[in-house]
Amino acid sequence: MPGAADIARNEKLKQRLQFYEDLGLAPFYRDRTASSSESAQSQPPLSAAVSSSHPIEEAPLPKSTLKSAPAPPIAPPAKSVAPLSSSGTSLFDAANKLSTETLLQIRDDLGECTRCKLHSTRNKIVFGDGSPKAQLVFVGEGPGADEDAQGLPFVGRAGKLLTQMIEAMGLQRPDVYICNVVKCRPPGNRQPEPDEVASCSPFLFRQLDSIKPKVIVCLGATAFQTLLQTNRSISHYRGQWLDYRGYKMLPTYHPAYLLRNPAAKADVWKDLQKVMAELGLEIKKKAK
């Protein structure tokens, strides 16, 4: 009889395999028992590679492709859309980027915040979670019910999916930093309103300047629009390297969107592979 621990492990494994299947990676693990000619046929493109930390056997890519590949140039936006950039060219931006402020100091300054109306309905402030020295920061929109209850970002259903994505990159949650544009839950999970974003986003900017990550991944439109101070649609820019005041920034779909549109997971996985290449994380390809 399998014990509770075995059942839990099997369930976790099942969810992980389902996740890889959603990403379009199913042939990797199916091929392990297939004949070599079958595997050649079902081999996915090189770009659909995954890290060594999960049970998928692949040969490493040549070293040159694993090291911080230069970011592809920003693709020209659609005709009607002007190029986006928020390069840190002003003295103000330059000074902010020299910040030696710690996350604790920023959290202290936030205090029991009452700067916007969200304070009156929140349960807990969700400041952020993870390594203060993370090379990779994920920025979401704002806490949902689970986050509001626990005071931690991305711990609900969307959070579980984000955790799977992080693990598929060969990382663990404590390796990265996760935060949101607004730190208090908007009632009924509505989008944060402009005055709420205006009050709260300076704390996000300070968090980013404190961490100084190599890469920022914006999860969804609110994070993308807030960092780039634009109201343009994320859809033109998803998966492209952009510049946020000198930081490399890549917008991708929000995990909550992926829960509603699982077919978009493959796009997000491609985006995350770009991030992995930029961070020098091992991307493996399938053995011949």
Can you give the binding site for ligand URA, defined by CB under 6 A? 140-144, 147, 153-154, 156, 158-159, 180, 256
Nearer to ligand URA, 156 or 213 (CB): 156
State in angstroms the smallest separation of the CB of 191 from ligand URA.
10
Nearer to ligand URA, 130 or 142 (CB): 142
Nearer to ligand URA, 130 or 156 (CB): 156
Q: Are 176 and 136 in contact (CB under 8 A)?
A: yes
Nearer to ligand URA, 56 or 179 (CB): 179
Q: State both tokens at 28.
A: 């990797």
- Distance (Å, whole) CA 287 – CA 122: 50
State in angstroms the smallest separation of the CB of 146 from ligand URA.
7
Nearer to ligand URA, 84 or 178 (CB): 178
State in angstroms the smallest separation of the CB of 163 from ligand URA.
11
Nearer to ligand URA, 28 or 237 (CB): 237
State in angstroms the smallest separation of the CB of 151 from ligand URA.
11
Nearer to ligand URA, 48 or 272 (CB): 272
Can you give the C-alpha Rg of the chain in angstroms? 20
**Closest C-alpha among 213, 216, 220 to residue 252:** 220
b vs e for 215-229, b when ≥16 Cβ sit within 10 Å of the residue's Cβ?
bbbbbbbbbbbbbbe
State in angstroms the smallest separation of the CB of 201 from ligand URA.
14
**Closest C-alpha among 92, 91, 125, 131 to residue 109:** 125
- Phi and psi (nearest 5°) for 24? 90, 20
Q: Are 229 and 196 in contact (CB under 8 A)?
A: no
Helices (H), 128-264: 145-150, 157-168, 194-211, 221-227, 255-260
Nearer to ligand URA, 96 or 222 (CB): 222
State in angstroms the smallest separation of the CB of 185 from ligand URA.
9
Cα distance from N-terminal residue to C-terminal residue, the chain: 38
Q: State both tokens at 266.
A: 């493959």
Q: State both tokens at 249.
A: 């920034």
Residue 254 β-bridge partners: none
State in angstroms the smallest separation of the CB of 144 from ligand URA.
4
- Distance (Å, whole) CA 26 – CA 260: 20
State in angstroms the smallest separation of the CB of 258 from ligand URA.
12
